[in-house]
Amino acid sequence: MKKSDIRILVVEDDESLGRAIEEGLKRSGFNPKLVASPAAAEQTLRLEECHGMVIDCMLPRKNGVDFATEVRASHPRIEIVLTSGIFRDKSYARDAIIKTKAREFFNKPFELSKLIQTFDDAFAPVLEAEIHPLFQLMQRNQYSAAEKIDAIRLTPTVHGFDLPWIYSLLMDTNISGTLHVAYPDKLEAAVTFSKRRIIDVQYADTESYFGLLLVEMGFSSPEEVDQILSENTGKRIGDRLVDESFVSPHSIGIVRREQMVIRLSKTIQDTPVEIRFKTEICDSDIHIDGLKFTQLLSDWVCSKVTTEWLKTFYRQYLASPLTPGANYSQAGIVIHLPAARVFADFDLTLAWPRTIDDICAGRANRENDLLRAVHFFLVQRILRFEPKAIESEPLGAIRTRLTRIWQDMQDQDHFEILATNKLAKFSDINRNYRELAKILHPDRLPPSAPADLRQLNQEIFARITEAHSTLSDDTRRQMYTKALEHGHAEEILQAETKFEEGMRLLRSSQFHDARKALGKVLKMHGRRSDVGLYYLWALIKEKRHRADRTELSNKVRDVLQTIPHEDRHSAHYFFVKGMYFELIGQIQNSYQSFKRACSIDPEFTDAKKEMTYIKQIYGKKKNKFTDELSIVVTKILGRKTG
């Protein structure tokens, strides 16, 4: 049943109050009707089916409690809420509820949000989850380009972590146009698609990365870039470098493509965004193709999308059956990518459908990785959800799922519990609440469920209800948000203080203590996005000469995957990457990574020391790689020699 199908009859002779109640119920999605007397209510009940009633206890010519008792006798399943501005005695309210079997008794004046909450709770078991058109596509195997665009247009507000799914939908042969993305801080981005390619990304960023990428890739030197930047000719830096024969046009295309990748990665943020798609014919020689896009999806799932968001997003789908999607044949091709690697030992040929709970069963230590892999497969349309959930589940599976949800909720605020954010509209909060209530309402448990399982379910639903009640009331929401922001400010300060401590230890070569301090920062909210690099620096320095290199290199690889793409172009990133390559025996790549770090930061002493270390340990191999990059650049780019 849809919320708009639920008819609520408001019996109130105070017209202004009655209209306010009617408008509030309508705004929340119900279908209310206001009448002023029991006689008008009786006539409505004879002609129309009503599912709920709001009845004032002092009505013309009839006591509201007596009228409610009569209604209950003829309509035993109707949900009744009593209100009164006169009868304030608690014993009166208790007796009235018992006599009429009303769900609640409110003394006037009362908070309208609490009345709405009461009906939300009452009808939660029968309400259909109102899934946005955009996410309804996750349940379909085939859909046209027009249907994709319509779904995007019908879902104007999404979370920034939904953008990979939207980008994936727009990577269609028959789609050409620009997706405009607006952020709460007034920044905007524009991503242009054409024939299964991304051909342009505009992002309001103060850093262009262009000069940095030229140096990083060995196409230019810091001195040449500085020289060109000092010449204010009005031309773009790339065009000026080509004019001066410092670089070739081909290398400029490579750099611009990587610049596009960085900008695209920056669009994916932990914040609500408004989206708008404009169809237009466009093309470009510089682009991100389907293969590169798949690699980027894997990167984003590992480095951008948070575990907390994934757990909240999929909470409503834990018992929903997964089945092969339109691109299921590609599973074996992408299994080696970081986001899907956890599925390498998972038999994807077994019978479907399977739920997320099924996939995670017996793999509690890999649950987060498995959830990321499922998300990657869904975004790639390798898997999809079946429209209908499993009708009956074993009690053991229900207990496992509810226990996991309860544990996750312990560290979540009200916004996270409802899978929303501080800027969410009332309608979004209400919709998310109904989606969760649809699957987590205690009435959904089978009759055979034991008392302790019912108690657990009730505690979960109480947390969801508390979150909804707080966030759907403007005053309470403002107070809660202010307290939350104060707490987050303290967390950011604590993370920064702990980070500085870790860096001090790292600089003084106290690698064991630095690794422990920075490891704690990794688990803190409000931390810097590049903390993982410094953690790996300390970890490798501490253990590379006395630990199992395979185990250590796997740990380093996993943390490197969590570094966002825009943070992979710093001297420190290439420094850590160089140490990682040395761990796995790729000495040439190791040396070149250290060399890249030094080209970005010529004063990077630690990188120079590592290059010296490699020469000492692998001295005989030195000539194979020490000057290889400069030779290749000279041959390919035809750089000036005079």
pLDDT in tens, 96-129: 999 999 999 999 989 898 898 899 888 877 776 5
Query: What is the band of 630 on the pLDDT scale with cuts at 50, 70, 90?
Result: very low
Tokens of 1: 């049943």
pLDDT of 389 higher than 70: no
Q: Burial code of 439-462, b = ≥16 C-beta within 10 A, e = fewer? A: bbbbeebeeebeeebeebbeebbe
Tokens of 364: 């509690």
Q: What pLDDT does residue 391 have?
A: 62
Q: Are 464 and 440 in contact (CB under 8 A)?
A: yes
Tokens of 413: 């605020």
Cα–Cα separations (whole angstroms), residue 39 to 13, 35, 54, 82: 12, 9, 15, 17
Backbone angles phi, psi at 585, to 5 degrees: 85, 10
- The predicted-structure confidence for 431-472, as pLDDT tens digits, reads as follows 788 778 878 888 888 889 999 999 999 999 999 999 988 998
Q: Which long-range contacts (CB under 8 A, 24 or more apart) does 287-291 make?
A: 287/194, 287/197, 287/198, 287/199, 287/257, 288/197, 288/198, 288/199, 288/257, 288/260, 288/261, 288/264, 289/196, 289/197, 290/171, 290/196, 290/197
The position carrying tokens 């191999």 is: 621
Smallest CA-to-CA distance from 595 within 608, 609, 614 is with 608
Query: What is the band of 234 on the pLDDT scale with cuts at 50, 70, 90?
Result: low
**Rounded distance, CA 102 to CA 65, Å?**
10
Q: What pLDDT does residue 636 have?
A: 41
Q: Give, in words, the CATH class of 3-126.
A: alpha beta
Write down the domain spans for the chain: 3-126, 133-290, 306-391, 524-637
Q: Is 392 helix (H, G, I), strand (E, B) or coil?
A: coil
Q: What pLDDT does residue 122 have?
A: 86
The residue length of the chain stands at 642
DSSP state of 387: S
Q: What pLDDT does residue 346 have?
A: 75
Q: What pLDDT does residue 390 have?
A: 59
DSSP state of 272: E
Q: What pLDDT does residue 640 have?
A: 40
Mean pLDDT of 144-156: 92
Among left, alpha and beta (phi > 0; psi -120 to 50; other), residue 63 is: beta
Least confident of 135-139, 175-179, 275-279: 135-139
Torsion on CA atoms 576, 298, 192, 261, rounded to nearest 10: 10
Q: Which residue has the higher pLDDT, 423 or 498?
A: 498
- The predicted-structure confidence for 552-568, as pLDDT tens digits, reads as follows 999 999 999 999 988 99
Q: Are 307 and 368 in contact (CB under 8 A)?
A: yes
Smallest CA-to-CA distance from 103 within 75, 136, 130, 78 is with 78
Q: Are 73 and 79 in contact (CB under 8 A)?
A: no
Query: What is the band of 211 on the pLDDT scale with cuts at 50, 70, 90?
Result: confident
Query: What is the band of 637 on the pLDDT scale with cuts at 50, 70, 90?
Result: very low
Choosing among 1.25.40, 1.10.1660, 1.10.10, 1.10.1740, the CATH entry for 524-637 is 1.25.40
Query: What is the band of 193 on the pLDDT scale with cuts at 50, 70, 90?
Result: very high
DSSP state of 338: T
Q: What percent of the chain has pLDDT over 70?
A: 93
Q: Is 404 helix (H, G, I), strand (E, B) or coil?
A: helix
Query: What is the band of 130 on the pLDDT scale with cuts at 50, 70, 90?
Result: low
Smallest CA-to-CA distance from 334 within 368, 366, 386, 373 is with 373
For the chain, give the mean pLDDT.
87
Q: What pLDDT does residue 628 have?
A: 46
pLDDT of 147 higher than 90: yes
Show Cβ contacts of residue 210 under 8 Å, excluding neighbours closer than 6 positions: 237, 238, 255, 256, 259
Smallest CA-to-CA distance from 571 within 589, 593, 544 is with 593
Q: What pLDDT does residue 120 have?
A: 83
Q: What pLDDT does residue 113 have?
A: 84
Q: Are 349 and 386 in contact (CB under 8 A)?
A: no
Q: Which residue has the higher pLDDT, 349 or 41?
A: 41
Question: What number of other Cβ atoms are within 10 A of residue 32's Cβ?
Answer: 22
Strands in 157-159's sheet, in edge-to-edge order, are: 157-159, 272-279, 176-182, 188-194, 198-203
Cα–Cα separations (whole angstroms), residue 144 to 132, 140, 196, 387: 17, 11, 14, 18
353 upstream amide cis, omega within 30 of 0: yes
